[in-house]
Amino acid sequence: MKKIIFNLATTERRVAITEHDKVVEFMIERPVENRIVGNVYKGRVVNVLPGMQAAFVDIGRDKNGFLYRDDLLSFQRLDLPDEEKKNRNISEFVTKGEEILVQVTKEGFGTKGPRLTGVVSFPGRYVVYMPEGGYVGVSRRMKSEEERERWRVFGEQLCEGNEGIIIRTSCEGIATDKIEQDIQFLRTVWQDIWKDGKALKPPALIHQDISLLERIVRDFSFDHVSEIVVDNRKDHQRLQELLQAYPNLRERLKMYRDKENVFSAYGIEAELEKSLRRHVWLKNGAYLIIDQTEALTIIDVNTGKFTGKKDLRDTIVRTNLEAAKEIARQLRLRDISGIIIIDFIDMRNDADKARVLAAFTKALENDRTKTNVVGFTGLGLVEMTRKKVRQNLQDSLSKSCPTCDSKGKVLSDEAQAYRIERLLWEYRNMDDEAILLEVPPNVARIIRGEGDNHLKELESVFHYRIYIKENEHMNEMEYSFRHIGSEMDVLERMKRM
């Protein structure tokens, strides 16, 4: 069974999805990050590159967005055979200085700007609504072609003008009036957005994507969810509102009130710490080594302590089958994307290879992110890709280590600050008046916030004073709760430091 655990009480808002008490997905939302995937902008084309069949668009960010010819609305709506369309140049569809409506599909990474599309879309519970999409698509995961065709015809009847929709798998078994309500709601949302946005001059943001809480309710399938836990009263009330249409889910919604951080109580914190390690141990004593680079990710399977009971072939196959399930989980948990190469233990028998590949493909069926398993290469490696949408877990929670000249990883200043904040949260409403905290300067800056506003907000919530002593000799991972007591005692201790 699945559980959804929301840790929303502190500044860093997090959610973990577990299956059979193992974390399979983790998402994070920070106030210092301006997440832009899903945002709609009115932009201006600053450069057209015919050689790359792409254009750069100013959307008001530090880096210009990147827009491929194939993602232009005018190109997609061109009524020509594919062979003729692919020979058309981007210069025929967009010019420098032109105003253009775009939506962000991928965040910028490193030196790359965000990826854009000219086909604006708004996901709903049952459909994806495209104001100018011009076509009806149906999820390929629907059981039969007959069912898909029935939904396609129904979708065409609901579209007005140049509208387009994509019928999601969640429509199966749902009354058609609910789908109609979903489309009408999204249509109204777009009309309200465009009514205010069409008068804005580019570059301008005309629609901000919804928050982490709403995205989970909108995008996640609640089939087989046994428990939904949230540790913030305001968000608990908001979830009750969002789940009104699902009375069975509202009964499973729980408010977490204990002092211990909810992720620690459910064992999620320990899982997240493990997810930053190279080594991943399997139940049978075998292990994985996961190495992430900018270009690709390499996963190596090793027998480790597992020696098997029958013969070498049996030991290898059983290890690879166990590894296949865990690799699929680690891809989701770490949000690894791009090119992925998996080095299973060498198998000489083609039937064994097919068995392991089938097990791996089946384990990936629960992944909400698009994957493509190419299969075994001539060298016996499994080659696959996983769609990249946002930063992976390693990049979100760590930074290059300055001590070892970027050869390793440590927690980022933000992740360390929010980790300390969660520990401070567990002392809320205590009898003592104050805490003396010693941390590196970069971490202290984040805890304090601009003009000490964040620190004051924490003190008002926790009901005690927080005094911070900066120690420039501490490394990035160090911190210390130097004293807990009366405010006078803490101030006296701070003077002696």
Residue 228 lies in a domain: yes
Q: Answer positive or negative: Cα dihedral of 50, 53, 54, 55.
A: positive
Residue 346 lies in a domain: yes
Pair (454, 437) in one structural domain: yes
Chain center to CA of 5:
15
Residue 399 lies in a domain: no
Pair (170, 77) in one structural domain: yes
Containing structural domain, residue 246: 2-34+213-270
Do the strands 54-58 and 40-49 form a parallel or antiparallel pair, or are they unpaired?
Answer: antiparallel
CATH number for the domain spanning 473: value is: 3.40.1260.20
Structure tokens at 56: 């750069």
The Cα 209–Cα 205 span in angstroms is 11
Residue 433 lies in a domain: yes
CATH number for the domain spanning 250: value is: 3.30.420.60
Pair (51, 187) in one structural domain: yes
One digit per residue, pLDDT tens: the chain, 497 residues? 889 999 999 888 999 999 988 999 998 887 755 678 889 999 999 999 999 999 999 999 888 999 999 999 889 888 888 888 888 999 999 999 999 999 999 888 767 889 999 999 988 878 899 999 888 888 877 777 888 888 888 888 888 888 999 988 777 777 788 888 888 888 988 998 898 888 899 999 998 887 888 888 877 777 788 999 999 999 999 888 877 767 777 788 999 999 899 999 999 998 888 888 889 999 888 899 999 887 899 999 998 776 656 678 888 899 999 999 999 999 999 999 999 999 999 998 899 999 999 999 999 988 888 899 999 998 899 999 998 877 788 877 887 777 766 667 778 899 999 999 999 999 988 999 999 999 999 999 999 999 999 999 999 999 999 999 999 999 878 999 999 999 999 999 988 88
Residue 407 lies in a domain: no
Looking at residue 236, what DSSP letter applies? Answer: H
- Other Cβ atoms less than 10 A from the Cβ of 215: the count is 18
Contact criterion met (CB below 8 Å) for 40 and 193:
yes
Q: Per the confidence metrics, is the pTM higher than 0.85?
A: no
Pair (288, 345) in one structural domain: yes
For residue 484, what are the contacts with CB-CB under 8 A and spacing of at least 6? 427, 430, 432, 434, 435, 436, 490
Pair (366, 283) in one structural domain: yes
Structure tokens at 32: 């210092």
CATH number for the domain spanning 87: value is: 2.40.50.140
Contact criterion met (CB below 8 Å) for 337 and 386:
yes
What is the per-residue pLDDT for 145?
A: 82
DSSP SS3 for 223: coil
The Cα 192–Cα 477 span in angstroms is 47
Phi, psi of 82 (to 5 degrees): -55, -40
Pair (217, 202) in one structural domain: no
Residue 231 lies in a domain: yes
Pair (304, 261) in one structural domain: no
Pair (108, 197) in one structural domain: yes
What is the per-residue pLDDT for 245?
A: 65
Pair (57, 202) in one structural domain: yes
Pair (89, 199) in one structural domain: yes
For residue 162, what are the contacts with CB-CB under 8 A and spacing of at least 6? 77, 131, 132, 133, 134
Residue 251 lies in a domain: yes
Report, in angstroms and rounded to the nearest whole number, the Rg of the chain calculated over CA atoms: 26
Number of domains in the chain: 4
Contact criterion met (CB below 8 Å) for 238 and 70:
no
Burial of residue 180 (number of CB atoms within 10 Å: 0-12, 13-18, 19+): middle
Pair (29, 103) in one structural domain: no
Residue closest to 151 by CA, chosen among 141, 160, 161, 132: 141
Residue 243 lies in a domain: yes
Pair (143, 199) in one structural domain: yes
If you count DSSP H runs as helices and E runs as strands, how many of each does the chain have, helices first?
16, 26
CA dihedral 135, 139, 142, 148 (to 10 degrees): 0
Contact criterion met (CB below 8 Å) for 446 and 468:
no
